Amino acid sequence: MRHALLLDALFERLGIAELNPAAALGDGSWRDGAGGFASIDPASGEPLAMVARATQDDYEAAVAAALRAFRRWREVPAPQRGLFVRALAEALRARKADLATLITLEVGKIRSEAEGEVQEMIDIADFAVGLSRRLEGSMLPSERPQHRLFEQWHPLGPVALVTAFNFPAAVWAWNAMIAAVCGDSVVWKPSPRAPLTAIAVQRIVDTVAAEHDAAGVCTLLLSDEVWPVVHLAADHRLPLLSFTGSTAVGRHLAPIVAGRFGRCLLECSGNNAVIVDESADLDLALPAIVFGAIGTAGQRCTTTRRLLVHRRRQDELVERLRHAYAQVRIGDPLDSETLLGPLIDEEARRGFENAVHETLVAGGTLLAGGKALAGHGFFVEPTLIAAANDWPVVQRETFAPILHVIGCASLDEAIRLNNAVPQGLSSALFTLDLRHAERFIAASGSDCGIANINVGTSGAEVGAAFGGEKDTGGGREAGSDAWKAYMRRQATTINRGRTLPLAQGIVFAAPGDGAVKRGAQGP
């Protein structure tokens, strides 16, 4: 097996001494599960390790542990909860290199991007620590004398968290770090394509939790079956489902959650465009487009999939992109010279081939790449294809490094095409025209959750809330006020007087009590 000695050393340093357990209860104990499935190295197609599969009993044990932990954890003062998250950040800093290497081995992300993912975990933890000191409510003016009106936020409950393979650790952190300081517990069902990363993260959490009386705050379920996700969506004990994945799966899960009046936080598909207008600085646009299109082998929800370029700049930009693509080194993601690692599996590689074929059959022109590479692993070429925005293949998200080039005559046309897809996650405009920049971010401009100027579609910072509109699902994670998704709002009125004036000037008299009049005050 490729890198067998390295993997053994990583397991030892990350505390993965035993892979058989399939569910973690968050107190250091694990359950054995039944059967198993393989974690596959996408750079070789070979199994890295076998892991166990959770059973129905394991599911029940994990959810019950999270519920017990929540009932205790919600009473812990938020700043003390922040100390737990701060300790998690320090543990991640100490293990950053090893965890990044494991991510690279398991999902094929190049080493620098994997290190960036662990850094993102640390960054959101740091953000959450600060948040633990400022989970503020609102003081509001009451129309009634001697009354105080305010809103406050309380912990919501155990959060069901389902994550995808492309960010196997960071998306857990986006949710778990914020949920923890909000007073919630988390039941995590990771992608079956990245179970080793999940085990490593859980081992780190278990160690820190034991030192901060946080047992059960973070639990884990491992499975390659569908039923645990459906169970999480249907479980009344879990008031919030945070799901990252395809629009098709999100569309299936949302009605299940809504049917029990639960909440959904959906981060689904993206079909992101970069607009390059006539005034754009191509030296600035070029690296953003290349990284956006081929970073993580095109397997980010924020990947740049469409290039909407002014026709007067199209030939020059395409030629520069073709030259840049020719320099991209494809290969072992652990090699520091590699810029493009493998797709996650054979299904993804077939999806790439099918999408290229469909685009060419529709009338597209291949400008660069277009081939799946022979040999071991799931490697493909970074691909440029001239296309039309309304073709079905362009309207879909293909999780692969395919960039569709579409010429535009004006900014208005480019904005219209940017918005003329079902998804609404990320968007970008490269321009030196202030009026164009303001037009793009206005209410009638980009309809996406992210709209950047002279910045690419990929690589969001944790300080802002992350998410999108339309088929992307509407959820928001990470920074800003995204924490409110993990809490419940409570409006409270306190009457310090001796009478009961009613709002809206209502006068109500119970028999024999006299009228209760607006404005009546006690001494």
Supply the residues annotated as catalytic.
267, 301
The C-alpha atoms of residue 391 and residue 357 are separated, in whole angstroms, by: 13
The C-alpha atoms of residue 211 and residue 80 are separated, in whole angstroms, by: 12
Q: Which residues in 90-128 are b (16+ Cβ under 10 Å) and which e?
A: ebbeebbebbbbbbbbbbbbbbebbbbbbbbbbbbbebb
Other C-beta atoms lying within 10 Å of the C-beta of residue 207: 14
* Helix 78-94 × helix 111-131 angle, to 10°: 160
The C-alpha atoms of residue 159 and residue 176 are separated, in whole angstroms, by: 9
Number of H helices, E strands in the chain: 15, 25
The C-alpha atoms of residue 404 and residue 274 are separated, in whole angstroms, by: 11
Q: What is the dihedral of CA 334, 339, 344, 345, to 10 degrees?
A: -100
What amino acid is encoded at 309 in this protein?
A: V
* Helix 111-131 × helix 96-107 angle, to 10°: 130
Strand segments (E) across 222-326: 240-244, 263-267, 272-276, 304-310
What's the helix, strand, coil split of the chain in %, to 5? 40, 20, 40
Identify the CA nearest to 306 among candidates 416, 380, 449, 381.
416
